[in-house]
Amino acid sequence: MKDLGNYSLWLHNTFGIEAHCRRFLEFASVEEAQQVAKILRETTLPYIIIGGGSNLLLTKDFDGIVVHSAIKGISVVGSQMFCGSGVAWDDVVSCAVYNHLYGAENLSLIPGDVGASAVQNIGAYGTEVKDLILEVEAIEIATGKLCVISNEECAYAYRQSRFKQEWRNQYLITHVTYQMDTVFEPRLDYGNIRSELARRNIIQPTAPELRQIIIDIRNAKLPDPNKIGNAGSFFMNPIVSREKYEDLAMYHEDIPHYTIDAEHEKIPAGWLIEQCGWKGKSMGRAGVYDKQALVLVNLGGATGQEILSLCKAIQNDVWEVFGINIQPEVNII
């Protein structure tokens, strides 16, 4: 177990922001997670639990404890995958495809760790990880007890779970079990997947081909955080009433949308931001990526406060133009 003081979080956030915490605890096993839980029970300091830092905006030093999982390992038994919470999510997708297990291809190259996938309910290209999660193994901080939590108990919704709401900072996730499919049924009707298939003269892709297409699409529109600091998609796509969508469509005939149910439509936040003129623009050292308006970037030396100011300016403009309140997907500390 790592127990470090005055620890730099620069390597633990993909925005590349320099910030420190008073104490840093990292566990690499269930037993170490129980030790960390004991420390947290006995401290008066505030604490936060982070994953790979790909969904995190640090706006200041954190005068408390930062907890991180380093539990590794992927075990494949039949169609189930038992994965350590510190495993990189894309390694799970790669392992699944290699073992002829399916359902996660559209989630290829999403940054972050396994533990965060269960907290955030990551999703992309018409797929959400909630549809793969069977159960979550976690240490209850208040008791140190090892718990196995079912998918249903997690109450998953769009980019939401009980781990983000009433269970926030109450569990240390140690492992996640994913139930994969043994029959490949590709989901191709989202984003520009089909157009990319056509460009490559592929009629019916294999799982490795679909995974590579998703990787290529993401690489083409999202910056590499090792080169440009970013947290991927910064805002959630807003879900509005059908009445609201129809009102907007009267003035914006080309507005993209995805039907959620009979009463709700999802509108891409990136489109809303781009219509407000923010794509490729900047405020000081913080900017909007020129290839994808949904992504905020650190242009070099930006502070978390600068990126937060940019976020608020974008929110204000989208509200003024469309009457829609877009919310950050990232956790702001």
Strand arrangement, sheet containing 282-283:
229-233, 295-298, 286-288, 282-283
Say if residues 294 and 329 touch (Cβ distance below 8 Å). no
Based on the residue annotation, tell me whether 274 is a catalytic residue of this protein.
no
Name the residue among 34, 36, 51 with its Cα closest to residue 4: 36
Please name the amino acid found at residue 238.
P
Catalytic residue chosen out of the listed positions 94, 117, 161, 233: 233
**Angle of CA points 146, 151, 152, to nearest 5°:** 110
Catalytic residue chosen out of the listed positions 69, 85, 159, 211: 159
CA 242, CA 15: separation in Å to the nearest integer?
35
DSSP letter at 137 equals E
Based on the residue annotation, tell me whether 54 is a catalytic residue of this protein.
no
CA 19, CA 304: separation in Å to the nearest integer?
9
- Please give, one letter per residue, the 3-state secondary structure of 10-56: HHHCCCCCCCEEEEEEEECCHHHHHHHHHHHHHCCCCEEEECCCCCE
Burial class (CB in 10 A: 0-12, 13-18, 19+), 198: exposed
Catalytic residue chosen out of the listed positions 105, 135, 306, 329: 329
Residue 66 bridge partners (DSSP): 24, 48
Based on the residue annotation, tell me whether 159 is a catalytic residue of this protein.
yes
CA 295, CA 218: separation in Å to the nearest integer?
12
**Angle of CA points 289, 290, 292, to nearest 5°:** 65
CA 255, CA 246: separation in Å to the nearest integer?
10
Say if residues 27 and 1 touch (Cβ distance below 8 Å). yes
Rg (CA), the chain: 20
Q: Which residues are catalytic?
A: 159, 233, 329
